[in-house]
Amino acid sequence: MEISQTVIIENKLGLHARAATKLAQLAQKFSAEVTIIQADKKANADSVMALLMLASNQGKEVTVNATGDDAEQAVKSICELISNKFDESE
Catalytic residues: 16
Q: Within 10 A of 18 (CB to CB), how many other CB atoms are there?
A: 14
- Strands laid side by side in the 61-67 sheet: 2-8, 61-67, 33-38, 41-44
